[in-house]
Amino acid sequence: MTELEDNRRVVRAFVKAIGAQDWNALASIVAPGFVRHSYAAGAPGVRSRDDLIQYLRNEYETFPDAHETIEDIVAEGNKVAVRHRFTGTQAGRMGPHPPSGKSMTAEYIAIYRLEGNMIVEAWAEWDNLHGLVQLGHHRSAAQPVDAPDPLQRAGDL
């Protein structure tokens, strides 16, 4: 197996471990000093393997039926770029947003840097606004101003 194939295999195993919520498997392929860069995720950020595992546990509390697939994967040197597809139903709180019971589908791009068959760094970005619209927490830019506000409860109209 070539280094590029090994790197793709590690990233596939990473996504599989997340989907299985297998934190031990995840810990075996993510370096302790792992850092994830993401403007979309906001502060405080992920600055260690333990931070990542806690972030993912929280994500499963919010989206208990979360499912992630790899749509595209490209490797070059010590980096692997992936277009992911995330689906889930918001059953828990998401920051200031209460559970909506609505489902969302979101694609995101992540680039993983590997050293010695371990993921040491990642950059991940996605369209937060599109997700918030799907979950009913934000009005779509395409929605006419005079249309009823979907964020209001039926009893408030």
Domain of 123: which CATH number? Answer: 3.10.450.50
pLDDT at 143: 64
Beta bridge partners of 104: 88
Indicate the DSSP class of residue 47.
-
pTM greater than 0.95 (yes/no): no
pLDDT at 157: 45
Residue 156 lies in a domain: no
- Mean pLDDT, consecutive 10-residue stretches, the chain (157 aa), reads 95 98 98 96 88 97 98 98 98 96 98 98 95 94 61 50
Write out the residue range of the structural domain in which residue 96 sits.
3-141
Task: Give the separation between CA 94 and CA 3, rounded to whole angstroms.
Answer: 38
Residue 157 lies in a domain: no
pLDDT at 114: 98
pLDDT at 47: 97
Q: What is the total count of domains within the chain?
A: 1
pLDDT at 140: 81
For residue 21, give the nearest of 62, 70, 60 by alpha carbon. Answer: 60
CB 99 within 8 A of CB 90: yes
CB 113 within 8 A of CB 120: yes
Task: Give the separation between CA 118 and CA 105, rounded to whole angstroms.
Answer: 28
Residue 28 lies in a domain: yes
